[in-house]
Amino acid sequence: MASPEHSTLHVDDAGFSCAYTRLDNPAATIAIAHGAGAGMNHPFLTGFSDALNDMGFAALRFNFPYMEQGRRFPDRPPKAIAAWREVIRHAQERSDGEPVWACGKSFGGRMASMAVAEGMDAAGLVFLGYPLHPPGKPEKIRDEHLARVEAPMLFLQGSNDPFAQKELLDAVVAKLGKRATLQYLPDADHSFAVKGVKRSPEEIGASLAGAVASYISPGG
């Protein structure tokens, strides 16, 4: 496997890191954002990224500016969306014409969907645990912008995810019609761990790559 190329991108006055692993003639480039509490080098994301590389996809992981700066609280949406735009621009600039998808764990995926709803040019979206509402607060649904997303969307969700009650997510995805696909991982939580099943975060991340590859490149 090729070693990742490390670059620093900028939004406003903030620099943030990305790691880009490209192979010859990739089926697509997948830009990957972390969740609220862990950066781009978390084993879940590196396992997921490495598995995608093995399946013939280029992968670009990145840190949001707040993570790069060591701050606890995520960037506000305008800054996170600006970072996503810069990442997609960089990925498209480096591509050889293959489609560029936006993928994110939890917060990172929600910010990608908001960016696409505001016009960011991505071939499609992949959500690794969409945070539909805060745990224990199902009345605070974060779905209003999804109706403005015209790109295809894959929701990969644990069936025991406290950030998305199953009946609520089912209803949201149903409203999106044919452009959205929802796949549940039985008994998995927000980190896709299953109680009683011992797997490392790297193994868990890698286990999701097959579903993503099949969705993006069904004939591949």
The identity of residue 110, as a single letter, is: R
The pLDDT value recorded for residue 220 is 60
**For the chain, which domains are there?**
5-216 (3.40.50.1820)
Note the pTM of the prediction, 2 decimals. 0.95
The pLDDT value recorded for residue 3 is 80
Task: List pLDDT tens digits, range 68-116.
Answer: 999 989 999 999 999 999 999 999 999 999 999 999 999 999 999 999 9
Task: List pLDDT tens digits, range 116-144.
Answer: 999 999 999 999 999 999 999 999 999 99
- As a whole number of angstroms, the distance between CA 215 and CA 9 comes to 29
Q: 3-state DSSP call for residue 125?
A: strand
Q: Which of 124, 72, 136 is nearest to 98 (CA)?
A: 124
Task: List pLDDT tens digits, range 4-63.
Answer: 889 999 998 889 999 999 988 999 999 999 999 899 999 999 999 999 999 999 999 999
- Report residue 182 as tokens: 């929802």
- As a whole number of angstroms, the distance between CA 110 and CA 100 comes to 17
> Is 206 a residue whose pLDDT tops 90?
yes
> Is 203 a residue whose pLDDT tops 70?
yes
The pLDDT value recorded for residue 1 is 59
Mean pLDDT of the chain: 95
